[in-house]
Amino acid sequence: MAQVLEFKLPDLGEGLTEAEIVRWLVEVGEVVAVDQPVVEVETAKAMVEVPCPYGGVVTARFGEEGSELPVGAPLLTVAVGEGTAPGGPQQGPGTRGAAEGARARTTESAATGAEQPKAEGSGNVLVGYGTSEAPARRRRVRPVRPEPAASQAGAAVNGRPVRTAEPEGPVPVISPLVRRLARQNDLDLRELTGSGPDGLILRADVEYALRAATAQGGRAAVQQGVADQGPSAPLTGSPVSSAPRPGGIRTPLKGVRGAVADKLSRSRREIPDATCWVDADATELMRARTAINASGGPKISLVALLARICTAALARFPELNSTVDTQAREVVQLDHVHLGFAAQTDRGLVVPVVRDAHARDAEGLTAEFARLTEAARAGRLTPGELTGGTFTLNNYGVFGVDGSTPIINHPEAAMLGVGRIVPKPWVHEGELAVRQVVQLSLTFDHRVCDGGTAGGFLRYVADCVEQPAVLLRTL
């Protein structure tokens, strides 16, 4: 007899709490193999294909394309066991019955506290989530609160609606951010009915409650309308806002754009940054690159040479390859360089990370930059390829600009900016000449070092750009 197993949206890493379903890769009734990708989801970090650790027949899918699911919500159910081999059951009444039976068994087990059967899966899912040897834990069940008769009849005492006693214990909330949002707006979470799995309160539930409170002119809407109706019910009474909404195009801050907005805002709030800059004669660096690429070997990119200069400069000034532990009030100097680089894509600005950049030569850096850039433009970067950077190189010269004061990529301590390389008048060997000039800027966290260290780092980078032979002395 086949056993129906439920596969939930796994933890995608880096504190991500939800994902948007972009494309289903399997249909109900289709046979899937162990570790076969079943759905493509988009998080605030990247596009990810999620593999299913079970092999069998898909009996149900949860969520339409374009909808968002919280981590831990059911993705699909799979019938595993007899009769699930290739060529087995197809989509039809029997399949739908199996799906309904899976839902019923899940609900029954949650209500009775019975243990679910152990899943025989590969365990090869994403960060922080497994399918085998999971620790035993009791599933939290949100009690069903019967509606009081006084409320059904619309009774009131002294002109106020009658409320029932609230259950004891903490309220299940999807993330601390949602709990903080409610606290900042003086909203009692016990008055809400969550729309997530098992009554889990989502950000949308809190935002709906706040909109309803504004529409009704105070807390009465939250206590009576929202708690009774839930986030999916239409608003009644006055409109959401009496003031006219300004015209124009509204773009939700979610996905990559939302993640970038949050990170940059946090950087501005927490990091006391300063910027220094210098013009440098890049003529010799450009000549050196031309000579290297004319030798017949693999082509070397300019950004790879700049990255090689960065890693050499960080070896001399390691204070800039640091992070600040605000809890311990310590500057943590790191012993490896994971070099991030800014890449503009159709989905927004992303910062892929070259792992152990200090251990790679110019050829290896060129290949890794090319691979990550292609993956970024195709939306195939994994969360691991977008996190963990220790220093960022920002080549904004590709946009045709000379200078910038970039925002540090939190929680890093510095970012090197490189403008366009253009012919300019320059005094060379005592005479005025036309040279290839570039502006370099360094934005740094003033907590990790003083201006002397930052200036020394930038001056060393400029010296290597002007005289590439300087770099050879550090190799």
pLDDT in tens, 134-147: 334 434 444 444 44
> pTM score, two decimals?
0.57
Q: How confident is the model at residue 380 (pLDDT cuts 50, 70, 90)?
A: confident
Q: Which fold has domain 260-472?
A: Chloramphenicol Acetyltransferase (3.30.559)
Q: Would you say residue 237 has pLDDT above 90?
A: no
- Residues with a known catalytic role: 446
Q: How many residues does the chain have?
A: 475
* pLDDT for residue 206: 84
pLDDT tens digits, residue range 197-236?
Answer: 677 788 778 888 887 777 665 444 444 444 454 544 444 4
Q: Which residue has the tokens 């050196």?
A: 288
Q: Average pLDDT over the chain, rounded to whole? A: 77
The whole-angstrom separation of Cα 245 and Cα 198 is: 35
CA separation for the pair 455, 334 (Å, rounded): 20
pLDDT, position 230:
52
| Residue type present at position 64 | E
Backbone torsions φ then ψ of 235, nearest 5 degrees: -70, 145
pLDDT exceeds 80 at position 293: yes
Q: Please give the average per-residue pLDDT across 435-444, as a whole number.
A: 97
pLDDT at 474: 54
Q: Tell me, what's the pLDDT at 104?
A: 47
The span from the CA of 315 to the CA of 331, in Å, is 17
Q: Which of 44-53, 80-89, 343-352, 383-392 has the highest mean pLDDT?
A: 383-392
434-438 own/partner pairs: CB under 8 Å, 24+ apart: 435/281, 435/282, 435/283, 436/281, 436/282, 436/283, 436/286, 437/279, 437/280, 437/281, 437/282, 438/279, 438/280, 438/282, 438/397, 438/465
And the tokens for 14? 């880096």
Once rounded to an integer, what is the mean pLDDT over residues 282-306? 93
Rounded mean pLDDT of 281-301? 93
The type of residue at 332 is V
Q: Domain map of the chain by residue range?
A: 3-112, 170-229, 260-472
Token pair belonging to 310:
């960065």
The structural architecture, per CATH, of the domain 3-112 is: Beta Barrel (2.40)
pLDDT given at position 170: 60
By mean pLDDT, which of 138-152, 250-264, 303-317, 436-450 is the weakest? 138-152
Q: Domain 170-229 in CATH: superfamily?
A: E3-binding domain (4.10.320.10)
User: What does the pLDDT look like over 345-356, one tens digit per residue?
Assistant: 877 778 999 999
Q: Which of 451, 409, 453, 454 is nearest to 271 (CA)?
A: 409
User: What is the pLDDT, as a whole number, of residue 140?
Assistant: 42
How much is the average pLDDT of 62-76? Answer: 87
Q: What is the pLDDT of residue 263?
A: 85
Instruction: With CA atoms as reference, report the closest residue to 124 among 204, 10, 203, 202.
Output: 10
Q: Is the pLDDT of residue 275 over 80?
A: yes
- How far is 128 from 14, CA to CA, in rounded Å? 10
Residue closest to 193 by CA, chosen among 162, 165, 227, 164: 227
Q: For residues 26 and 186, what is the distance between their CA atoms, to the nearest angstrom?
A: 44
In this predicted structure, which of 155-169, 255-269, 370-384, 422-436 has the lowest mean pLDDT? 155-169
Give which of 277, 249, 246, 257 is closest to 443, Cα–Cα.
277
Which secondary-structure segment (H or E) carries 411?
A: none
Q: Between 126 and 46, where is the model more confident?
A: 46
Q: In the predicted model, is pLDDT for residue 115 greater than 60?
A: no
> pLDDT-based confidence at 117, cuts 50/70/90?
very low
Tell me the residue type at 171: V
Q: Measured in Å, how far apart are the chain's first and last C-alpha atoms? A: 66
